Structure formats: C-alpha cells, structure tokens
A and B are shown apart, each in its own frame.
Chain A
Amino acid sequence: MSELIFEKSKHGCTGCSLTHLDVPQAEIDIPTRAGIGLPTLSEPEVVRHFTNLSRKNFALDIGFYPLGSCTMKYNPKVNEDMAALPGFAQLHPYQPDSSAQGALELLWELDRALCEITGMDRFTLQPAAGAHGELTGLFLIARYFQEKGQKRDIVLVPDSAHGTNPASAALAGCQVVVVRSDSRGGVDLEDLKAKLSDRVMALMLTNPNTLGLFDENILTIAELVHAVGGLLYYDGANLEGTCGYARPGDMGFDVVHVNLHKTFSTPHGGGGPGSGPVGVKEMLEPFLPVPVVTKKADGAFALDWERPQTIGMMRSFLGNFLVAVKAYTYILSLGGTGLRQMTADAVLNANYLLSLVKGTYELPYDRICKHEFVLSTHKFGQWGLKVTDVAKRLLDKGFHAPTIAFPLIVDGALMVEPTETESKGTLESFAKALLEIEEEARTHPELLKEAPRHTPVRRIDDVAANRSPVLRWK
C-alpha cells in the first residue's frame, strides 16, 4: 500500500535541526499565517519513505530504457560530482563577475565546444529545456525579420515533428502550417514548395527526423527555404544521430537548439531539469538573450548586459548552470574522437537491433536508420491489441518500453532508441523479448492485455483518473 508522506505524519517529530537564533528577536510587523499543515516526521522515516518510493521506479541505472527521441544514455557519475563542487553549486548569480571567473570560463568553453560540434557561431545557455530553446530560437528569428522590416508569421512544421515544435510556434505568435512526409519518411519536397511563401518565417526540422531517418534532401530543403527568405530551425533532439558526422550548421540551419540532457548525458531526473542551449549563425548573434558571456582582451570573462538589439531574457540568470557543468564534463571526457565514436555506436546499435526484429515487426520506412527507428504495431490490431499492450508487456519482461504512439504518421508506433551505452547482449535480449511478445500476441493475447503483472502496480485506470481528477492529498 502506497502511503503518502502526509499519512505517515505524527505530532511531535522533526527531521531537521536548526541552530538557535543568535540575534535578538525582532517584533514581527508583517501579517503572519496560522499553520501550514506540513507533515512532521523524523529523519529516518523521511529517508525510508523516499528510499521506498525510489524502489518503485524503473531507471537507466537499472536497465534498458529505449525511449525514442529521448536519448536515455548512461549518466556518468563524475558529472554529478563536478556539478556538486561548492565552487559551482554555491555560486550566487549576483556575485561580481570577477569572483566567478571559473564559472564564466566554463560557460565560454562550452559555448566554443557546442559551436564546433554544431557548426554555429554563438550559443546562449539560458534556455532551460529543449522546448524553451525552440521558443528562444523563434523569438530570435522573429526579431531578425522585424529588424529587416519583413512581416512573416508562418512556421512550417513536418507532420513527423515533436509536439513542442507547433506548440512553441504558437507561443511565438505564429501560424503553424504542416508539411507532409514523403514515402521515404523525409520532407515531401513538392508539398514544401507549395507551402513556401514570403510569409514563411522558418521551417522547423529535426534531422535525423523522428523516424530516425536522415533527410538526404536537406541541402535542397535549405536552399528552398532560403530562396523565399525564410530561415531553418534545427530541433536538436536527435543530434545524437549525426554528431561528429555532419553538423546542422553545414546543412544550412540558421538556428539550432541542443538538448544537454539528451546528447550530452545529463540526467533526466524524472522529467528535468534539462538544458536547451541555442546556437545561431552570425547574423542572429546581436539578438541573443542577455546576459552573454564575453572574453575580454586581457583574458578575463564578463557578462555583457548592454546589447541593444537583444530579445531580452528567456528566464532568470544564466539558465540551468549546473546542467551545463555536467555537459561540459562529458564533452571533455569524450573529446572529438569520443563524440564520433558515441554516434557511431549509437547508430550501429540502432541498426543492429532493428535487424533483429525487422520482419516480425513492420518497418514502415525500410532504410538504414540513424540513432533510432520506428516500428508499426498495426498488425497487433487483428488480435485485439494496441501498441500500449506491447509496451506494458515489455515492462513485465524487465525493460522500459520505447516511446509509443509517436510519431503520429505511423500507426501504433514503437519508437526505439538504444543509445551507445548499451551492450550487444542487452540489445539481443531486448530483441528476444520483442519477438516473444509478438508470438504471445498471436497465441496468448491475454498476456499482453493483462500486462503488466510484475510491476509495483498493475495497469492503471487512466479513464477514471481523468474523469474526476484528484490532484492533491486532502
């Protein structure tokens, strides 16, 4: 039974010890509140509560976590140690630049490294996540056209795009127009041409796309978009697929965001914090959010707040700084050769795993994939089963499920991303599980329908939970 921390609370306990007040008590001249209702427990009880909660999670350090487009790779332990150094974790954002030279140098060096990796000219590390990066990028592009005196309000988004792309475009005040995918899973060039006009501000593209396929027409696409004066935005969720083999900057992208919590190994933390630095080509640099880290002639670093053309701020301070520390640690650990090997292994793992299940599972776009691939579970319908049933059965077999029901253009999609930090043996056991499940679906569909059985809780009644939502304990 999962008791809540509030239900374990009892009077007379505390889990902390504060030092005595060593100054005289002042008269309290502000309005004050009565009780809050926080639980009261001793430290061992709190520790046991959360330790037991943690045991109800599947996690990367426990097993294979092949969530497509999420890049669930191993999170190196040294990254965590480095981010916890008091010289980083105990810095205050308002302390003078002169007293934070090491932090500013780190941000500067990470900027340089990301520029080399992506082929861009300058980065901002302020965006707190990928979607936040998208919004930043679109604001930058909008400001660019505003400066040029051009009125553009359409953002093109492929039908295979992440949901954040259209959501960010709408937040940026733009109209979203969807571009179809062609029979090879790439952008349909004819449809793109039909939708290009001088109202188009940008095309947002993930390459490799959410099918895990590299769009071979990327140079043509860039040419077409640039020809009508629009810009190209790169959603870096899938940077893992080409890092070290091709750079978005060389493909013709004008603005990119990268997800430090995907490609650069920082942990997902059950949903965050992430970090979504945005890189731009030179013509967009004046618009970057403030503050921008600069290196002065004498080698000292400083924060530049005086940038007249800036779009402003995207959030407070310098972004999720400690996430940047972890990513920088990772980049130094891998170096140029390691980054290339990272991608090579990620792509090899994906293709190898694909080869083990292809045939049994339908592959709508049969090409060499990059770091991930998408299968269709369409045929499970004949046994009365859905992709969710396949996913839940995988949980019973000790694996996390792939991303399901996305991208939308594939019926019953299973989107699998193994990453480079999995062994050949793990891939083979996962493939075996997928093949077993297909057989079970044919012979004992109830095994899938009734899954999961071996998890902390069984299949959850989402319908009831959504019809009358209970969002807090009372």
Chain B
Amino acid sequence: MRYFPLTPDDRVEMLGALGLSSTEDLFADIPAAIRIRQPFSIPALFEPEVVERLESLAAKNLNTKSTSSFLGGGIYRHYVPAAIKHLLMRAEFYTAYTPYQAEVSQGTLQAVFEYQTMICLLTGMEVANASMYDGATAVAEASLMARSITGRKRVLVAGSLHPQYRATLRTYLHLQGLELVEVPWDERGALDLSRVCAEEAACLIVQSPNFFGLVEEMSAAGQWIHAAGGIFVHAFAEAASLGLLPPSASFDADIACGEGQSLGMPPSYGGPGLGIFAAKEKYVRRMPGRLIGEALDADGQRAFTMVLATREQHIRREKATSNICSNQALCALNALIYLSLLGEEGFRQVAEQCYHKAHYLAERLQAVAGLKPTFAAPFFNEVAFTIPGSPQALNAYLLKHGILGGIALDRDYPGLANSWLVAATEMNSKEQIDALVARVAQWRGGLA
C-alpha cells in the first residue's frame, strides 16, 4: 500500500524487537469471540481506478458551474478568486492540527486572529470566535449562550429564520428544557412582533436578510427584546449581504451569527461551510468555541496563542460553554483570504452586484403574466414569487432545459404552497437571467 512506509522486513524486525512472532500477537487482548480474522469485503482499487470511480460518480451530478443556477437558501455560488485554492492547498495549512503548540503554529494562529478581526469588521461586533460548524449550529449555540447569560428558558425565533436552522434549534433545545416560540411574519413578509410577548425571553433570533430574502427592520426588533431584558441575535445565511447592509452592531445585536460559505467557498452540496459567531465583548466568557489572542514571546516578539480556553471542553468538561472541539478552521482561512483579496471595494461590489442582479431578475419575472412577488418587503439577493402552478413542476421543466430553478417553499412552509424562491449572485449573467425568464414564460404559456 503506497501510504505505508513499513517494508515487510521492517515489520519482521520490529516484531522481533518486541519479542512477538506475528502481527496477530499485537491484538491478543481482543476477546476471541469478537476478533476479526478476515479483511472486510471492500475491494482495494489502484489509484487510477479510484479516480475513475470518483469521476464517474461526479459525472452523474449536474453541477452549478456547468449550468445556470438560481438556487440560494443559505448556500450561494459566488466567484472564488483563483489564488484562494493555491493558498488553501499549501500543506503547511491544511495538514496541520489545531494549534495546540503555539510556537510552531503561528501561521494558523495569526490567520485565525486576522479572521476574528475580519468578522468583527463585517458585523461591527467586538469579538468573534475561530468558527462554528455552520450557520445552523451557530444559531443553536447563540440560543444556549443567551440562556446562559439570562438564565431564561424561552427562545423567540423568527419563523422566517432558515427552516433547517430552526430544525437544528429544535433538536438542540429539546433536551435542555428550553421552549421555542416562533414569531410570525406579516403580509409583507417582515417580522411581526405584535403577536408575541417578550417577557422572560432569553433571546430573540432574527435572520436578516430572512429566508425569503427580505431585509428586516432590525433596530425596532432589537429595542423590543432589549426592553424585556433579552438577548438580541442577528442571524444571517448570506454573508455577502454584510457588504451592503448595516452591520449587526449598528442595531445593537448582542450576538451575530450565521453561515459564511459565501466568503469564497464553493456550494459543496451544503458543506463544509463556515459557522460565523461574534458577540459583544462583555459576553466573551459565555461564548462557545476557540479564541485566539495576541501575545508576546520570551523575546518580546509579537505572537499569537489560544486564549480563554477555560471555557472549552478539554478543560471545563461538563461545565464547558459548548462541546465543540474540531471546528471549520480551514474554511475560516478560506474566508479570510477571500476578504483579503476582495478588499473593501471588491466585497462591496459583490454585494451590490447581487442586489442589482436579483432586482433585475425580479423585475423581469414580474413581467411574466401570473407571477407576482409573494412579499412586498425590500429584499437583498433572493426573492419569492407566487406562481400559477406547482414550483416543483416549474423546476422540473427548467431542469429539462439545463436550469436549476428555485426553491419550492411548500415543504417547509405549507402555507406558501405556490411560492418559489429564486436567488441571484454576481455569477448569474444577464443572458442567464433572460434565459430563465424566457423559460418561465414558456412554461406559463404551456399552462394556459
């Protein structure tokens, strides 16, 4: 096997040095009743065969690069500058472990410190951790942190928070004895606080732009929950929106968290992405996850090291703020390099292009007879349309023509049976958008 450096002679010699005659002797302490004597049935392939097998599996999939896609819902296709993969694939980064030995991990440590700073800049928050698994678990951790800060057990969450984030929240909170209360949206698709009560709530979690792409009035929501002593959580599923929309701190969010896949990562069938988590500094000791701080070495040189580790599982065990150990470190590096390359101007341009493309898409779709926006509130780069017919049927029609259409909202929102959610990014050309609209019009024509 090409990955194993021991030669047959080595093995004999090493066993001999141990006073053993066979490899089997190394496993003599395994009870005979459960000892396996034969290899598994999985066949071993030569490298060219492995490549062929994987390539043939990959070829069975329709990928968003070779087609035109208007899918969003928390995962977006943005342009990834070529330099990123070359830097990420430096073995010094990707074949290193968690930076436990700081003196030989300064590359990772400084990068995470820079990443933490980038996230603070994007959100306006004071502290950010070294990453969570994804947007959904970041939101779940935020609710647990709010419980820990307030000692309260009611979690208010916008119904327009990503359905899978809400599903994750339900799973996480269930056994903690926390009550999850969903806040409805009004006819414009915006958060409707008039029908819930803020009393005794640990937090209010609002996604903006919300799952329907709509930009919420965050300041009012923040004031509302703060008046009752709760924690205000800004969630996001499209990090590119942070290039244009006001930062979380501007509406006094206590925690900002969400999905960072948009920051230079491919869609990857949903993972790995990046869980972003930031908060006000006064809550830092209640925060989950790893934190890197600036330090000095014995010679007085600037250095970086893990700090406040007493919050973490390897020290605090059952009293830790979270059980997280492995995180998404390489994805955080990916986001850092992306933001470094795009810079102030570039990142803003991405956000603006997303906005303009999605608004062009919406305007063209509105011109198709029978289609109308489901909601009236302003949106960023994603918009829901109520269509005359089944979104699944429309998607199937589009797929036949090589287009990945939108998300049918009915599985997660039975009340929005004919609603179809489409997203646009800077990657969708005018030509693609026009082609989509033409196909939708054709489909609509076929219905009549």
**Chain B contacts for A276, CB-based, 8 A:** 326
**Which A residues, 291 to 339, have Cβ-Cβ distances below 8 Å to chain B?**
305, 311-323, 325, 328-329, 331-339
Known: A15-B341, A57-B106. 9 other contacts (CB 8 A): A5-B114, A89-B266, A90-B63, A92-B77, A163-B325, A332-B42, A421-B4, A462-B295, A472-B126
Contacts of A279 in B (CB 8 A): none
A113–B246 touching, CB < 8 Å = no
Contact of A368 among B5, B26, B176, B250 (CB under 8 A): B26
**Inter-chain contact A16/B244, CB cutoff 8 Å:** no
B424 and chain A: residue at smallest CB distance: A23
Which of A170, A332, A460 contacts B297, CB < 8 Å? Answer: A460
With contact pairs A216-B31, A319-B271, A336-B44 given, residues A60 and B95 touching in the complex (Cβ less than 8 Å): yes
- B240: Cβ under 8 A from any A Cβ: no
Question: Can you identify 6 A-B contacts, CB atoms within 8 angstroms?
Answer: A2-B106, A101-B60, A142-B175, A174-B175, A270-B98, A472-B120
For residue A289, CB closer than 8 A to chain B, the reply is: yes
Q: Which residues of A contact B324 (CB under 8 A)?
A: 129, 131-132
In the complex, chain B residues 294-344 whose Cβ is within 8 Å of any chain A Cβ: 294-299, 301-305, 307-308, 312-320, 322-331, 333, 336-337, 339-344
Question: What B residues does A438 contact at CB under 8 A?
Answer: none
Instruction: Of the listed stretches A187-195, A226-234, A372-380, A449-457, name the one at the interface; the rest are far from the partner chain.
Output: A449-457
- Complex contact A316–B39 (CB within 8 A): no
Contact of A271 among B130, B176, B268 (CB under 8 A): B130
Closest-CB distance, B115 to chain A (whole angstroms): 10
| Residue B53 at the chain A interface, CB threshold 8 Å | yes
Rounded to whole Å, the gap between the CB of A60 and the closest CB of chain B is 4
A47-B315 contact given A172-B175, A471-B307, CB 8 Å threshold? no
A368, B63: Cα distance in complex, Å: 50
Q: In the assembled complex, which residues on chain A have CB atoms less than 8 Å from the CB atom of B126? A: 472
Interface string of A39-76 (1 = CB under 8 A from B): 11101001101110111111111100101001011111
Looking at the complex, which of B84-92, B191-199, B227-235, B439-447 is the stretch in contact with chain A?
B84-92
Most A CB within 10 A of own CB, among B108, B281, B318, B324: B318
Query: Mask for B268-281, Cβ within 8 A of A = 1, else 0?
Result: 11111100000001
**Are A16's CB and B356's CB within 8 A?**
no
Contact with A along B259-272 (1 / 0, CB 8 A): 10000001111111
- Given A26-B359, A128-B137, A424-B10, check contact A335 B93 (CB 8 Å): no
Is B39 within 8 A of A105, CB to CB? no
Of A80, A246, A312, the contact of B168 (CB 8 Å cutoff): A312
Known: A32-B244, A88-B269, A102-B60. A58 touches B105 (CB 8 A): yes
Is there a chain A Cβ closer than 8 Å to B159's Cβ?
no
Interface centre among A272, A332, A424 (most CB of B within 10 A): A272
Asked whether B66 lies within 8 Å of A86 as measured between CB atoms, the reply is: yes
Q: How far apart are the CA atoms of A462 and B312 in the complex, in Å?
A: 16
Q: Which of B417-447 contact A (CB under 8 A)?
A: 426, 429-430, 433
B318 contacts A169, C-beta separation under 8 Å: yes
Tell which of A16, A139, A312 has the most Cβ of chain B within 10 Å: A16
The minimal Cβ–Cβ distance linking A242 to chain B, given in whole angstroms, is 7
Are B69's CB and A92's CB within 8 A? yes
Q: Cβ of A316 and Cβ of B313 under 8 Å apart?
A: no
Separation of A234 and B26 alpha carbons in the complex (Å): 22
Most interface-central of B29, B61, B110 (chain A CB within 10 A): B61
Cross-chain contact of B58 among A85, A267, A450 (Cβ < 8 A): A85
B51 contacts across to A, CB distance below 8 A: 78, 81-82
Q: When the two chains form their complex, are residues A339 and B87 in contact, meaning their CB atoms are under 8 A apart?
A: no
Which residue of A is nearest B40, CB measured? Answer: A336
Binary flags per residue of A194-221, CB closer than 8 Å to B gives 1, else 0: 0000000000000000000010101100
B26 / chain A contacts, CB cutoff of 8 Å? 344, 347-348, 351, 368
CB of A464 to closest CB in B, whole Å: 7
Q: Which of B48-85 contact A (CB under 8 A)?
A: 50-51, 53-66, 69, 71-75, 77, 79, 81, 83, 85
Check if A283 is an interface residue, CB within 8 A of chain B. Answer: no
Q: Does A360 contact B (CB under 8 A)?
A: no
* Residues of A close to B369: CB separation below 8 A: none
Contacts of A46 in B (CB 8 A): 83, 337, 340-341
List chain B residues, Cβ under 8 A from A43: 81, 83, 341
Is the Cβ of B378 less than 8 Å from the Cβ of A30?
Answer: yes
Please tell me if the beta carbons of B75 and A51 are within 8 angstroms of each other in the complex.
no
Q: How far is the CB of B154 from chain A (nearest CB, A)?
A: 16
B98→A271 contact, CB < 8 A: yes
Question: Do B399 and A464 have beta carbons less than 8 Å apart?
Answer: no
Indicate if the CB atoms of A335 and B108 lie closer than 8 Å: no
Q: Does A96 contact B (CB under 8 A)?
A: yes
B15 proximal to A (CB < 8 A)? yes
Checking B11, B50, B127, B347 against A36 with a beta-carbon cut-off of 8 angstroms, the contacting residue is B347
A234 to B91, alpha carbons, bound, how many Å? Answer: 31
State whether A56 touches B106 (Cβ < 8 A): yes
Q: Which residues of the other chain, B, contact A95 by a CB distance below 8 angstroms?
A: 62, 64, 69, 71, 404
Instruction: Give the residue name and chain of the A residue nearest to B119 (CB).
Output: A472
Task: Flag B33-47 by CB within 8 Å of A: 1 or 0 each.
Answer: 111100111111101
A201 CA / B349 CA spacing, docked (Å): 53
Q: Report the nearest B residue to A44, measured CB to CB.
A: B83
Q: Most chain-A Cβ atoms within 10 A of its Cβ — which of B27, B281, B323?
A: B323
B221 within 8 A of A: no
Contact B333 A270 (CB under 8 A): yes
Is residue A400 contacting chain B, with contact meaning CB distance below 8 A? yes
**A25 lies within 8 A of chain B by Cβ:** yes
Query: Is the beta-carbon distance between A335 and B45 smaller than 8 angstroms?
Result: yes
Residues of A within 8 A of B29 (CB): 214, 216, 367-368
User: Please, which residues of chain B bring their CB within 8 A of the CB of A128?
Assistant: 133-134, 137, 271-272, 326, 328
| Contact of A273 (CB < 8 Å), options: B72, B176, B331 | B331
Chain A residue, CB-CB nearest to B339 = A38
A166 to B36, CA, bound (A): 31
Contact of B117 among A6, A246, A290, A329 (CB under 8 A): A6
Q: How far is the CB of A110 from chain B (nearest CB, A)?
A: 11
CB of A436 closer than 8 Å to a CB of B: no
B339 and A460 contact, CB distance less than 8 A: no
Write out the residue numbers on chain A whose beta carbons fall within 8 Å of the beta carbon of B344: 35-40
Inter-subunit contact A337/B39 (CB<8 Å) = yes
Q: Is A150 an interface residue (CB 8 A)?
A: no
A418-469: which have CB < 8 Å to B?
Answer: 420-424, 426, 450, 452, 455-462, 464-466, 469
A111 at the interface (CB under 8 A from B): no
With A40-B343, A173-B175, A246-B36 known as contacts, the answer to whether A74 contacts B98 (CB < 8 A) is no
**Are A313 and B164 touching (Cβ within 8 A)?**
yes
Residues from chain A with Cβ under 8 Å of B137 in the complex: 128, 132, 314-315
Residues of B within 8 A of A261 (CB): 326
Evaluate contact between B83 and A173: CB separation under 8 angstroms.
no
A182 at interface, CB cutoff 8 A: no
A44 to chain B, nearest CB (A): 9
Q: Tell me whether B14 and A167 are in contact (CB under 8 A).
A: no
Contacts of B18 in A (CB 8 A): 351-352, 355
Asked if A352 and B17 make an inter-chain contact with CB atoms under 8 angstroms apart, the answer reads yes
* Residue among A2, A98, A325, A348 making CB contact with B6, cutoff 8 Å: A348
| Closest A residue by C-beta to B291 | A471
Q: Are B360 and A26 in contact (CB under 8 A)?
A: yes
Query: Is residue B353 contacting chain A, with contact meaning CB distance below 8 A?
Result: yes
A263 interface contact, C-beta 8 A: no
B142-156 interface mask toward A, CB cutoff 8 Å, 1 = contact, 0 = none? 001000000000000
Q: Which residues of A contact B236 (CB under 8 A)?
A: none
> What are the residues of chain B within 8 A of A89 when measuring CB–CB?
63, 266-268
Are A469 and B395 in touch, CB under 8 angstroms? no
Cβ B61 vs Cβ A101 within 8 A: yes
Interface pair A100/B136, CB less than 8 Å apart: no
B346 within 8 A of A: yes
> Is B107 touching A33 in the complex (CB atoms < 8 A)?
no
